[in-house]
């Protein structure tokens, strides 16, 4: 019988989360991957703001307020999703509204990797079902090309 020896390293998972069905599947998968292991899940929401060059200061302030509210709602949604299943998680809102989602997720993974040398770090995202992403690319495709840590793409 061939059984794998359990690893002793901690497992840190960075999950891209926007409340969409693919993100929900990714968070479920991360919780399942962490089960029985030490480590934690970093749930990362990256807000999208249109180019601030085209918005008035009042419009930018209004967008910031709306994005703050959305972040609170997503934190509550992730909390409810993990309730009773996983307590070792944090919610992080990507603060740079002009960054690409892959860059923010990679940055979070690199910070965790650097803080926990020798442990396992991976990024977990859901696959996009949008037809447009087949032509112009998706977050998952960009991460597959550039992520410095293992990547799990949840169908």
* Model pLDDT for residues 124-139, shown as the tens digit of each residue: 999 876 544 444 468 8
pLDDT in the model for residue 133? 43
Beta-sheet pairing, 39-45 with 89-93: parallel
Report the CATH architecture of 11-154. 3-Layer(aba) Sandwich (3.40)
Q: Is 22 exposed, middle or buried (0-12, 13-18, 19+ CB in 10 A)?
A: buried
Cα angle: 94, vertex 98, 28; to 5 degrees: 35
pLDDT in the model for residue 53? 58
Query: Which residues, given as ranges, of the chain have pLDDT below 70?
Result: 1-8, 49-55, 96-99, 129-137
Q: Is 76 exposed, middle or buried (0-12, 13-18, 19+ CB in 10 A)?
A: exposed
Alpha-carbon distance of 136 to 121, in angstroms, equals: 28
Alpha-carbon distance of 17 to 1, in angstroms, equals: 39
pLDDT in the model for residue 98? 54
Return the domain boundaries, the chain.
11-154
30's CB contacts (< 8 A; 6+ apart) are 13, 15, 41, 124, 152
Let me know: does 40 contact 70? Beta carbons within 8 Å.
Answer: no
Largest CA distance in the chain: 67
Report the predicted TM-score, pTM, of the whole model to 2 decimal places. Answer: 0.85
Alpha-carbon distance of 81 to 73, in angstroms, equals: 12
Q: Which residues is 103 bridged to in the sheet?
A: none
pLDDT in the model for residue 7? 59
């Amino acid at each position: 019988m061939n059984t794998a020896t359990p690893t002793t390293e901690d497992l840190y998972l960075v999950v891209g989360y926007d409340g969409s069905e693919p993100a929900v599947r990714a968070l479920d998968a991360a919780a399942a991957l962490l089960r029985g292991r030490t480590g934690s899940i970093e749930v990362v929401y990256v807000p999208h703001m249109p180019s601030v060059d085209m918005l008035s200061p009042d419009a930018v302030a209004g967008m910031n307020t709306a994005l703050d509210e959305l972040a609170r709602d997503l934190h509550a949604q992730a909390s409810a999703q993990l309730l009773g299943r996983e307590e070792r998680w944090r919610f992080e809102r990507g603060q740079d509204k002009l960054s690409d989602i892959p860059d923010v997720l990679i940055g979070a993974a690199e910070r965790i990797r650097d803080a926990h040398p020798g442990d396992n770090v991976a990024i977990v995202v859901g696959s996009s079902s949008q037809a447009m992403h087949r032509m112009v690319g998706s977050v998952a495709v960009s991460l597959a090309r550039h992520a410095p840590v293992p990547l799990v793409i949840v169908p």
